[in-house]
Amino acid sequence: MNNNIDYEQLENISSSLLKGFISWIEINDSQERAMILDSAYQFKFSILEQDKSTVQKKYFISPKDLSKDEATLLLHQWKDTFSQIINSDLDRISKDSFKLWFLSLASFLMPILENETKVLWDKLLEGIEYCQNFSIKDVPYPLNTITKN
């Protein structure tokens, strides 16, 4: 029963975060969206540079191979990390880029979030032409409908 309550709470929190994030992205220009995407790329790149194999690294290398248990574990780890950084002195762009990966992973586990997460990515990708590092292939599975990553 506790697992069901925890899942429902996480789903509700993720849904609220997603709606608010979409609204926030809509009022930002393409350059701001590109900054969020490039920051998200930097986070991904820093994980991929690590020598040791982790669930985080697996998510960015081969998300299709991530088991539901691994994805759930990672989501809980990221929820804890997100709880810590949200009230930190970290800049807003860094917080937003982490929120992007968190919500993308949440939609991977919670199908009810998938359509809104696609809307989020569509809105963010309006700024891709201004990105220095992020490319369309960096959009995570199953949200990447262009390159099917």
Indicate whether 47 belongs to any domain.
yes
Indicate whether 148 belongs to any domain.
no
* Alpha-carbon span 134 to 83, nearest angstrom: 25
How many independent structural domains does the chain possess?
1
Amino acid symbol at 44: K
Per residue in 129-146, pLDDT (tens digit) is 999 999 999 988 666 655
Per residue in 50-93, pLDDT (tens digit) is 989 899 999 998 888 899 999 999 998 988 888 888 888 888 89
Place of tokens 């390159």: 147
Q: Which structural domain, as residue segments, surrounds residue 127?
A: 2-138
Indicate whether 131 belongs to any domain.
yes
* Alpha-carbon span 38 to 45, nearest angstrom: 10
